[in-house]
């Protein structure tokens, strides 16, 4: 009897704790917390107004109404004893942008009682160090080449400049003070290995080397950082290219009760994290479009307002002719020579020009052409109104209404993420590759699309590129693939090639495993 009473008491305590947590983590509390933290983010961005503001997906995307771009650095790559440098998430567009603008500001947040998420404490510092070392190695190679070139004074001057830059290029691992010396030493012991992996991946280090005048270096700013406004240094005054890491939320780790003249609410650190559990279908762009309505309505009416906004947006999207962006895509011009997958090519080369005319608050939609391959990757929302694309392979769960002259130019393969179906991508890849082979062999252009244009469509393009194109990036009907043993490293090089043209690509590990299973388990059949 006493045991039953004890169990009931424990259960009631657990139930009460869960009830309190649900009460505290309401939509209004989350949105109000995000809004308050965004004020801090705006203040920091104004200290360096010339530096582009980037959101680290997905949590960071909530904390400002306007970002220049996005990036994807995972906290798991910085977890203790799990440090990693991912060639699947190179984020080279961030380094290029920082080189062009003199630096950049990255925004993220965390729910835990930390000042910074591990993505900022370790993942990004590892990334900057590996890139710096790879660039330094390339500079040294240029210096050695210049030493052998004695043809002109210009060459001597170039050699001297390269020598000075390579000597002064900072390759140190810069970590925040709260990372222990033991952990820092463990990370440093693996930097050289990661540098070799990056160099062998076929990443476009030459473009980074030409763009970056100073080495990359992270700086950390949180709500506890003391900044003297009359002594804010200009970003050009530093002897490095700053990657300013802004942790948006308070680091107390405790839900704080706050109140205004009208409402009381609970502050949630890192409220933008895990949006599926609280956002009720609301996206960051929808939030910022209706921010003042949502904040001013208060906690009692917020849920209904969110439901109304999400439903109106759903209906608005359903009316395709009125809601989706009117997009004109210029097909890629064939280059004079084909690029090798391992060859260094400019990062932004091959991305098509998009003319988007829309008043919608939806996410920026883009189609990225993969070099001169006649392949493009994008979202299914844009595919419904895209022009000048011969064929469309739709991997979204929902079909789209199209006006293609040839009925055989459209194939719908409903595909879901690996968390829902471990074999969904694998089972659809044979049909996708054969559809691509049929159309690419006729010189047609092909758009592969999915819901977000970042995961499933990228994996399908990876399978197509590996199966139907040779190392030179030329369509060969799968002849080189049938004669080659595909390794994970070879597949990784092709993925790096895709990321050069589609910087928002974020293929999941589960889907990549399915692509590798397909590539190692079969050969391209005859159409």
Give the residue, 220 or 161, on which the prediction is more confident: 220
Write down the pLDDT at residue 65: 95
User: What is the rounded distance in angstroms from the CA atom of residue 397 to the CA atom of residue 417?
Assistant: 10
Write down the pLDDT at residue 123: 96
Q: Which residue has the tokens 């704790």?
A: 17
Write down the pLDDT at residue 343: 40
Residue 149: other Cβ atoms inside 10 A = 12
- List own/partner pairs for 469-476 with CB under 8 A and 24 or more apart: 469/341, 469/373, 471/340, 471/341, 471/342, 472/338, 472/339, 472/340, 472/341, 473/338, 473/339, 473/340, 473/341, 473/371, 473/372, 473/373, 473/497, 474/338, 475/373, 475/374, 475/440, 475/441
Write down the pLDDT at residue 339: 41
Give the residue, 187 or 388, on which the prediction is more confident: 187
Confidence of residue 448 (pLDDT cuts 50, 70, 90): very high
Q: Where are the beta strands (DSSP E) in 239-396?
A: 241-247, 256-259, 264-267, 326-329, 354-357, 367-369, 375-379, 391-394
Give the residue, 220 or 336, on which the prediction is more confident: 220
Return the C-alpha torsion angle 76, 80, 84, 90, nearest 10.
Answer: 50
Write down the pLDDT at residue 196: 93
Q: Is residue 205 pLDDT above 50, yes or no? A: yes
User: HEC string of 163-202?
Assistant: HHHHHHCCCCCCCCCCCCHHHHHHHHHHHHHHHHHHHHCC
Q: What is the mean pLDDT of residues 94-118?
A: 92
Q: Is residue 394 pLDDT above 60, yes or no? A: yes
Write down the pLDDT at residue 326: 34
Write down the pLDDT at residue 347: 32
Helix (H), strand (E) at residue 482: helix 479-482
Read off the pLDDT of residues 7-53 as tens digits, 9 standing for 90 and up: 555 556 656 555 555 556 799 999 999 999 999 999 999 999 999 99
Q: Which residue has the tokens 């252009």?
A: 445
Closest by Cα among 14, 139, 57 to 364: 57
Q: Is the peptide bond before 59 cis (omega within 30 degrees of 0)?
A: no
Write down the pLDDT at residue 63: 97
**At 312, phi and psi to the nearest 5?**
-65, -40
Read off the pLDDT of residues 53-92 as tens digits, 9 standing for 90 and up: 999 998 999 999 999 999 999 998 888 888 999 888 899 9
Q: Which residue has the tokens 């010396």?
A: 181
Helix (H), strand (E) at residue 94: helix 92-101
The C-alpha angle with vertex 291 and arms to 288 and 296, in degrees rounded to 5, equals 175
Q: Is residue 177 pLDDT above 90, yes or no? A: yes
CA distance readout (Å), 262 to 58, 257, 299, 322: 31, 14, 10, 39
CA distance readout (Å), 54 to 26, 90, 185, 299: 27, 15, 30, 30
Give the residue, 521 or 160, on which the prediction is more confident: 521
Q: Calculate the average pLDDT of the chain.
A: 82
Read off the pLDDT of residues 140-173 as tens digits, 9 standing for 90 and up: 888 777 666 655 555 455 545 454 455 579 999 9
**191-195, 273-277, 365-369: which has the minimum mean pLDDT?**
365-369
Write down the pLDDT at residue 367: 85
> Distance between alpha carbon 451 and the CA centroid of its chain, in Å?
15
């Amino acid at each position: 009897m006493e045991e039953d009473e004890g169990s009931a008491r424990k259960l009631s305590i657990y139930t009460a704790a869960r009830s309190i947590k649900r009460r505290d983590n309401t939509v209004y509390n989350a949105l109000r917390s995000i809004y308050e933290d965004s004020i801090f983010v705006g203040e920091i961005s104004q200290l360096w107004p010339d530096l582009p503001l980037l959101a680290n997906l997905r949590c960071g995307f909530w904390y400002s109404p306007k970002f220049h771009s996005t990036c994807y650095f995972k906290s798991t790559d910085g977890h203790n004893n799990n440090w990693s440098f991912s060639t699947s998430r190179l984020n080279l567009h961030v380094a290029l942008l920082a080189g062009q603008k003199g630096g950049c500001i990255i925004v993220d947040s965390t729910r835990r009682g930390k000042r910074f998420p591990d993505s900022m404490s370790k993942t990004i510092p590892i990334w900057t160090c590996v890139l710096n070392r790879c660039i330094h190695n390339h500079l040294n190679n240029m210096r050695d080449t210049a030493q052998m070139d004695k043809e002109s004074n210009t060459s001597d001057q170039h050699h001297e400049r390269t020598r000075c830059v390579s000597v002064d290029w900072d390759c140190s691992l810069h970590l925040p003070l709260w990372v222990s010396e033991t952990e820092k030493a463990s990370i440093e012991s693996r930097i050289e290995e990661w540098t070799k992996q990056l160099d062998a991946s076929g990443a476009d280090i030459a473009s980074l080397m030409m763009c970056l005048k100073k080495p990359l270096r992270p700086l950390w700013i949180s709500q506890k950082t003391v900044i003297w406004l009359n002594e804010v240094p200009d970003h050009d005054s530093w002897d490095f290219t700053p990657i300013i890491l802004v942790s948006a939320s308070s680091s107390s780790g405790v839900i704080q009760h706050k109140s205004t003249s009208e409402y009381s609410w609970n502050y949630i650190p890192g409220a933008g994290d895990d949006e599926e559990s609280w956002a009720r279908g609301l996206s960051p762009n929808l939030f910022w479009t209706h921010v003042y309505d949502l904040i001013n309505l208060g906690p009692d009416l917020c849920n209904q307002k969110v439901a109304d906004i999400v439903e109106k947006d759903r209906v608005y999207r359903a009316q395709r002719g009125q809601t989706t962006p009117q997009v004109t895509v210029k097909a890629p011009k064939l280059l004079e020579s084909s690029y090798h997958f391992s060859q260094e090519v400019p990062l932004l080369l091959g991305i098509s020009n998009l003319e988007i005319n829309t008043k919608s608050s939806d996410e920026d939609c883009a189609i990225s052409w993969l070099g001169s391959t006649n392949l493009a990757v994008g979202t299914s929302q844009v595919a419904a109104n895209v022009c000048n694309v011969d064929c469309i392979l739709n991997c979204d769960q929902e079909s789209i209404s199209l006006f293609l002259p040839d009925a055989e130019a459209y194939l719908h393969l409903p595909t879901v993420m690996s968390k829902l179906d471990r074999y969904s991508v694998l089972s659809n890849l044979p049909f996708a590759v054969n559809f691509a082979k049929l159309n690419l062999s006729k010189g047609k252009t092909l758009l592969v699309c999915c819901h977000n244009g970042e995961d499933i469509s990228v994996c399908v393009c990876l399978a197509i590129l590996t199966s139907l194109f040779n190392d030179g990036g030329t369509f060969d009907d799968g002849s080189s693939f049938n004669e080659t043993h595909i390794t994970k490293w070879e597949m990784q090089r092709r993925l790096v090639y895709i990321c050069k043209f589609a910087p928002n690509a974020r293929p999941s590990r589960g889907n990549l495993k399915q692509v590798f299973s397909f590539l190692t388990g079969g050969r391209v059949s005859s159409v």
